[in-house]
Structure 1
Amino acid sequence: MRLTWTLVPRDGGTEISQRLTFTGPSAPVARAVVGALLENDARVCFARLAELAGIDPPATALTAVIAGGTGALGRHIAADLTCRGHRVIILTRRRDPGLPFEQREWDGKSVANWVDALRNPGPAAVVNLAGKLVDCRPSERNIAELRRSRVDSTRALVEAAASLVRPIDHWVQASTTAIWSDAGENRCTETTPVPTGLPQMTGVAEPWERAFEGANAAHSTILRTSIVLDPQAPALKRLGQLTKAGLGGRVGPGDQWFSWIHVEDWLAIVRAALGLDPQVTLPDGILVAATDFPVRNRELMAALRRHLRRPPAPPTPTAILKLGAVVLRSDPALGLTGRHATSEVLRRSGFTFRFPTLDEALTDLLPRRH
């Protein structure tokens, strides 16, 4: 195994890249065990280096309060902003001593002393990612909790911001392209009307967005995010495991659309929404975080087999998927529904995707064999 760090001077700092190389007959095992440990949260490790070096953000730096900051995407954006010289404060139900960020405990529904984090003399931002994970059985109780965890946290943040003399400079409010539920062959963009959809999708996302209305923010973005491809996130991890186990065939009919985005492009969109990208100016309002090239489920599974070097696999019938979802305590609709979602706003704003196609994204995200 070889671990290589590359340091490249950039304006105002240094760009650090980490590369892990495994060779020899034991490479697959070493890559799966040791590599996963070293690769996991590499960006958080770099943020920890900044903390150990005693680097304090300048007075002009952004203070970003991140609700839901201990989740997969929250950790990414917290580390990304920290490494870029900004101050990060995470609101969390339970402190994680392993994270190199300031953390304040929050029950996800009340306005408490954490509101002081928003009273910042310099530029301030809120990134609200709080909410129960969607990978659960679609029972009435779970759907109610999915909705409550998002609506209550958003209302509390909106109430806290209302107490401020000065509006929040930038607010990124999470939402999801699943607000369109199973959109079939419809093409969904920022202006597409919201239908009457599944209660665990539209029934959660629509009140979530409504709870954000009237937020005291100078600039605000409702970020309807598609499936974020990240090796440590549930979606790609589970799909990879199924493909490696020989279950990499199409799911159900296979023609359902899969809209997606690479985690690095998602981070770049969030930075632009926070006013941190001088090359891209995004308007306020709804923004779809998805590439211009959605794929169908059969194309997704074929690409995974190709990149993981697995042979053709039989399809997974709808009945089998529903049975497996019961065993795994998951929602079969996550695999059987889809939507063709792209962003007109990003195209008009001149945003450039680093990983525009699925092949480019998987080449970057999945381990390479030598």
Structure 2
Amino acid sequence: MNILITGGTGLIGRSFIHALTPDAQVILLTRSVPKAQSMFKERPVLCVESLDDVDFNNIDAIINLAGESIGDRRWSESQKEKICQSRWQMTSQLNQAINSAEQKPQLLISGSAIGYYGRQGNQIINEDYQQFHDEFTHQVCAKWEELAFENLKHDMRVCVLRTGVVLSREGGALPKMAQPFKLGVGAVIGDGQQVLSWIHIDDMVAIILALLNENYSGVIHATAPGAVTNQQFSNALAKTLHRPCWFKLPNFVMKLMMGEQADLVIYGQRVLPHKLITQGFEFQYPEIGEALADIYS
């Protein structure tokens, strides 16, 4: 199988590439070929800097994970624009290349996030849930998904991954979340009742592999079955790291520290992977305690 990957040097992309069997031919679109090549010394990957260097007539599947990190920098207006355009422009460029190909790829797996739903309280959310809260994270994801689904006109199989917080020791949100706990000043945020929908990196990779090889389509929730409140997550993390969790950070402090970006931790969504479960996908880490225990073992 010939697979084109964008965003392949990020946490999810590089973990996925390393998990592929040797017979999969990987083409990685990257802004820095030397950096990308250094990440995959033991796994041959063809690195290209432009979609013009890719023959889309010979691509079986596209995995589109490119996008500026939504959590690394404060959300200034320019940073919000960068977050949006890094996703929208790449997906539009892929669409143009697909349109021009005589032999279309069979599959597009495109990133999204549970932020599509906006703040939701404790409402249980399956893939058919439609009552989103119209805020920045929804606006980013909604257009990103709309662009991906344009490829349905080619009779391609299109999967959109609404992903929760990916837990890994190697990057993403968890190292930043864990640092205060390691220093003995871990805290519950607000009243601690906002829901965190998360997924272990190994299950994230397994989901993408399943989408490659099985007949999934449409919106798929890449979240573990065991969503937890911030209080439950904080207690589990403190227990795993053998550190206390004595403090509470009021919401207004988070707002002062992070601005609008604080909405990511002040509010939450209880997003369940209904489609994966009903189609028989088995999670290796369905509960938060065992996921954290594996990561910090």
Report the TM-score when normalising by structure 1.
0.74
Give the aligned partner of residue 38 of structure 1. Answer: none
1:364 maps to amino acid: D
Equivalent pair of 1:170/1:217 in contact (CA under 8 Å): no
- For 1:113, the equivalent position in structure 2 comes to 52
Aligned to 1:98: 38
Aligned amino acid, residue 283 of structure 2: F
* Letter matched to residue 307 of structure 1: T
Match of 2:89 in 1: 152
Aligned residues: 288
What are the superposed Cα offsets for residues 284-313 of structure 1, whole Å, 9 maximum, x if unpaired? 111001111100000000000000001232
Determine if contact 1:176/1:205 at 8 Å carries over to the other structure. Answer: yes
Partner of 2:167: 229
**Distance (whole Å) between structure 1 residues aligned to residue 88 and residue 97 of structure 2:** 14
Question: Unpaired segments of 5 or more residues in structure 2?
Answer: none
Structure 1, residues 153-207: CA drift from partner, whole Å, max 9, x if none?
00110111112222212211111011111111221111011524222x0111111
Partner of 1:21: none
Say which SS state the counterpart of residue 287 (structure 1) adopts: strand
Map of 2:222 onto structure 1: 289
The alpha carbon displacement at 1:320 in A equals 2.3
Counterpart of 1:214, as a letter, is: E
* C-alpha separation in 2, matches of 1:312 and 1:230: 21
CA distance in 2: counterparts of 1:125 and 1:249, whole angstroms = 43
Q: Tell me which residue corresponds to 1:205.
A: 141
Q: How many angstroms apart in 2 are the aligned matches of 1:186 and 1:137?
A: 28
**CA RMSD, aligned part only?**
1.7
Deviations 1:258-297 (A, max 9, x none): 001111111111011111xxxxx44311100111110000
Q: Distance in 2 between matches of 1:127 and 1:270?
A: 9
- Name the structure with the higher helix share: 2
User: Structure 1 residue 134: deviation in Å?
Assistant: 0.3
Residue 353 (structure 1) aligns with: 283
Q: Distance in 2 between matches of 1:75 and 1:140?
A: 29
RCO (CA 8 Å, sep 6+): is it higher in 1 or 2?
2
- Aligned-pair distance for 1:124? 1.2
Whole-angstrom distance in 2 between the partners of 1:197 and 1:130: 23
**Cα distance in 2 between the residues matched to 1:74 and 1:303:** 27
Task: Report the AA paired with residue 70 of structure 2.
Answer: V
Q: Is the 8 A contact 1:179 1:194 kept in 2?
A: no
Amino acid of the structure 2 residue aligned with 1:335:
V
Shift of 1:337: 1.5
Partner of 1:47: none
Q: Partner letter of residue 134 of structure 1?
A: I
SS at match of 1:98: helix
Q: Which AA in structure 1 matches 2:10?
A: G
CA–CA distance in structure 1, aligned partners of residues 236 and 145 of structure 2: 34
Distance 2:284 2:230 in 1: 22
Q: Name structure 1 gaps, 5 residues minimum.
A: 1-61, 107-111, 276-280
The answer to whether the 8 A contact 1:167-1:217 is kept is: no
Residue 76 (structure 2) pairs with residue 134 (structure 1): no
Paired position in structure 2 for 1:183: 120
Distance 1:350 1:309 in 2: 35
Q: Is 2:275 aligned against 1:342? A: no
